[in-house]
Amino acid sequence: MLRTVFDPEIPVNVYDLGLIYKIDYTPEDKTLHVDMTLTAPGCPAADFIMEDVRQKLMSIDGPEAVDLQLVFDPVWCYDMMSEEAKLELGFL
């Protein structure tokens, strides 16, 4: 599901970029708890990306809520990308 969310400026999805740090599910309150980051703190597409992540996660059968937290610790770096993302962006 998260592989369908893209930063409009980068042709790689947020999952393969390594922007999703944590996904936990609490069955008691049917909430997905997600920590994610951005490639840069001042990303102009931050609101768009986060809303897209939230909508995609809410479309999954089961969760009734998404607790989406934007975090910058640890700071994102290129090493967090998947091999596919590195190939796509020319880092390999």
Q: Give the start-to-end residue ranges of the domains of the chain.
A: 2-78
Digit-by-digit pLDDT tens for the chain (92 residues) are 899 999 898 999 999 999 999 999 999 999 999 999 999 999 999 999 999 999 999 999 989 999 999 999 999 999 999 999 999 999 88
Tokens of 11: 């042709």
Which residues are CB-contacts of 9 (< 8 A; sequence separation ≥ 6)?
45
What pLDDT does 92 receive? 81
Q: State which H helix or E strand residue 53 sits in.
A: helix 46-58
Q: Can you give the pLDDT at residue 47?
A: 95
Phi, psi of 7 (to 5 degrees): -75, 125
Cis, bond preceding 74 (omega within 30 deg of 0): yes
In the chain, % helix, strand, coil (3-state, to 5) comes to: 30, 25, 45
pLDDT of residue 19: 98
Global pTM reads: 0.92
Q: How many CA within 13 A on the CB side of residue 37?
A: 19
Domain 2-78: CATH superfamily is Fe-S cluster assembly (FSCA) (3.30.300.130)
